[in-house]
A and B are shown apart, each in its own frame.
Chain A
């Protein structure tokens, strides 16, 4: 067991203290900033809190009622002007962002003109519509008129009462499992790829010959898998920390509503972790086996995209999932190794995945992981004897049977 730990520590040291690890570690925060910061900057730049004016030529709103503030807490003042000239002067002086001209026959025709130099802020125009609505319903009490104007806020809930979310698009809580699935999947590809590259390097510089004389192949594979898994978990923990800080900054500091009070679906997160762990071992062992069969590092690197394409299959099937989140395709991809992580992430947003499917997926991937480790051991032992030559799967399996 001591030698397994030594291999694991060496794998951690080799991966965690190189520049690419630091680059990958900080690439996610960097991309988060690159993706979110321009949005926030543009939002701040396009935000316009200047008042909005109106000229009432119809005389319908002599004692107007003001609607309550927006839910976001933003207050856009509505200013009446006695004439169009005064409203235009205010617009030219940039005292208001736009003004509405309610025509003399407004009550009959509803005709109005919106005058601006730059498209007014959407919150401001919405606020003015609220103003029009509550005043058009002036015969009703303010509370009733406001409810009719503001409408309902619908919350959708499944009959079991286990999941609820507001209508009007996915919430942060519902897309978090997808983001988490992508993060875990990305780490899986990076970790498994790094393991394979390391193996190919050690083979080509003959370090492997020295290692193989002092440790069995199964212990070496276990040690390497444990080491790379530890490194990936550290990366994942760091990314989660950065994600939490980013959500807090966006929601609490910059006041972006979508990021406020996310309801995290912990069961979905746990399901992803449960399938990702054996999935990780499976992918690493498969790439380890491939690394043992290829001749040089460049050839090994070209195998990475295959794994990536396999993992991305659920993304291509997104439309099918949306149509039928419990269909045959969705269930099949939930059960298969490599596709299960993203499938569970995506399906979690669309449905409640039955526990039996998660359990079956974990069991299938455990079996696949064990088989892949066995295959990696065979490939490694044969690969050691076949320097400079590519191994074929048939040879690995054939020799395996002959050996048994």
Chain B
């Protein structure tokens, strides 16, 4: 036990002395939060944030060329002179060149059949929100309904909807921000929270396991392992490394989680009052983090014992990370329906459960027996993974310099 602790202390202190690790684990999140806080502060001092919204929402003067003959009048509530009619495209182009207008529209002759509207605008940026074609679309609808305000109201508000979900799971409704998930349209942090939590778990597992395999193969390559093997039992060595690097990863993980939520909180300062994080999330997140990390780290330590040098670690890591990637990718694409049968199955299956169960738990409303079953199955998988790793993490494998191959892996498992 003392030797395991010595290995643990050595691994943790060497990790915490690496400038690269310190920058990634603590430097980047801190800088990110400070920068975002600075931007937030600058924004709060700007006129737009201090109530002078008119300045930022000023409408631009635009032109239009109506080849369809549809536009007979402009809505009364449209500011005067905001839309200027031109008889031809040439006239509109000239006005644009002379900065009389900022953009113009061409309504084609077959507009009613095709619905096509051409918007001539100097900015090609598809990500910008400074275009105002909503005005022209409103003008077109106004003329289609012959300027009748009541008809327009019926068109734009066809229903005052109330939703009833008859099933037990996923009883949230569109626009619901009471719990994390894609139903919440009003707040980006709440909307993306299940994905953010899953992405952090994924990064923690992959980085932590990568640190472990690199540490083992580095010591194999520089022959330090030969000295260690003469004084420490392989299992003590493996346990010390997993625990030491696990604590380091957990520290970095906690820092990133705190920084991410601080950053998102700064960018989305007003959380809805009804919002609350499911109470079961924190204890279950700790359980799945510890079990998941031990599972992946022990497998990575096992295969790491068979890798003779650092160069080969990347491709060997894929043996362990690959199956986790499947759950991760499917999880990313299932954000809209976190309780569908496929994700439910993945959240119970031990290899993918540390990611997909946490994703579902963040959304909430997971039946109580499911995390219990997933944790029991994962604990069994951890036990088996530790046995496999112990079989691979033996002195003759650690001292061997033969290149890694599937045959070497199978032979080591048979020994």
Contact = CB atoms under 8 A, between A and B. Distances in A.
Interface of A: 20, 23, 34-35, 38-39, 41-42, 45-46, 91, 100, 109-119, 129, 132-133, 136-137, 139-140, 143-144, 147-159, 163, 165, 167, 169-171, 174, 297-298, 301, 322, 325, 349-352
B334 A132 contact: no
Given A137-B151, A155-B116, 20 more contacts: A42-B333, A45-B342, A46-B340, A112-B161, A114-B161, A114-B163, A115-B164, A117-B165, A133-B155, A137-B145, A143-B113, A148-B155, A152-B137, A152-B140, A156-B124, A157-B119, A157-B121, A159-B97, A349-B124, A352-B124
A38 B329 contact: yes
15 contacts: A45-B340, A110-B157, A110-B160, A113-B164, A115-B163, A116-B164, A116-B165, A133-B155, A136-B158, A139-B151, A147-B112, A148-B141, A152-B117, A154-B117, A156-B131
B120 interface: yes
B116 A152 contact: yes
Contacts of B97: 159
A42 B337 CA distance: 9
A132 B160 CA distance: 12
A350 B121 CA distance: 12
B231 to A, nearest CB: 26
Contacts of B119: 154-157, 167
Interface in B144-176: 144-145, 151, 154-155, 157-167, 170
Interface in B100-143: 111-128, 131, 133, 136-137, 140-141
Chain B interface category by residue count:
35 or more
A20 B314 CA distance: 11
Contacts of A149: 155
A38 B126 CA distance: 27
A137 B150 CA distance: 10
A145 to B, nearest CB: 8
Contact of B93 (A140, A159, A171): A159
Helix, strand, loop or mixed for chain B's interface? mixed
B115 A140 contact: no
Nearest to A163: B124
A133 B144 CA distance: 13
Contact of A112 (B159, B170, B337): B159
Contacts of A116: 163-166
Given A129-B158, A129-B159, A155-B116, A140 B126 contact: no
Contacts of B144: 140, 144, 147-148
A156 B119 CA distance: 5
B372 interface: no
A316 to B, nearest CB: 11
B325 interface: yes
Contacts of B37: none
Of A23, A109, A167, A301, most B-chain CB atoms within 10 Å: A167
B17 interface: no
Contacts of A100: 159
A91 to B, nearest CB: 8
B414 interface: no
Contacts of B113: 143
B166 A115 contact: yes
A137 B157 CA distance: 12
Interface string B27-64: 00000000000000000000000000000000000000
B330 interface: yes
A297 B312 CA distance: 13
B15 interface: no
B235 interface: no
A200 B315 CA distance: 21
A100 B160 CA distance: 11
Contact of B337 (A91, A109, A119): A119
B124 A350 contact: yes
Contacts of A114: 161-164
A157 B155 contact: no
A155 B154 CA distance: 27
Contacts of B192: none
A170 B163 contact: no
A114 to B, nearest CB: 5
B166 A170 contact: no
A144 B70 CA distance: 11
Contacts of A34: 325-326, 329
B122 A151 contact: no
A20 B316 CA distance: 12
B188 interface: no
Contacts of B155: 133, 136-137, 148-149
Nearest to A132: B158
Given A46-B340, A112-B159, A152-B137, A39 B125 contact: no
Contacts of B151: 137, 139-140
Given A151-B137, A151-B141, A157 B329 contact: no
A113 B163 contact: yes
A170 B126 contact: yes
A129 B315 CA distance: 51
Contacts of A109: 160
B388 interface: no
A227 B93 CA distance: 52
B310 interface: yes
Given A45-B342, A113-B164, A114-B164, A154 B137 contact: yes
A153 B337 contact: no
Given A144-B144, A153-B117, A137 B159 contact: no
Contact of A118 (B114, B133, B167, B342): B167
A165 B126 contact: yes
B133 A167 contact: yes
Contact of B166 (A38, A39, A117, A147): A117
A170 B141 CA distance: 26
Contacts of A351: 123-125
A156 B333 contact: no
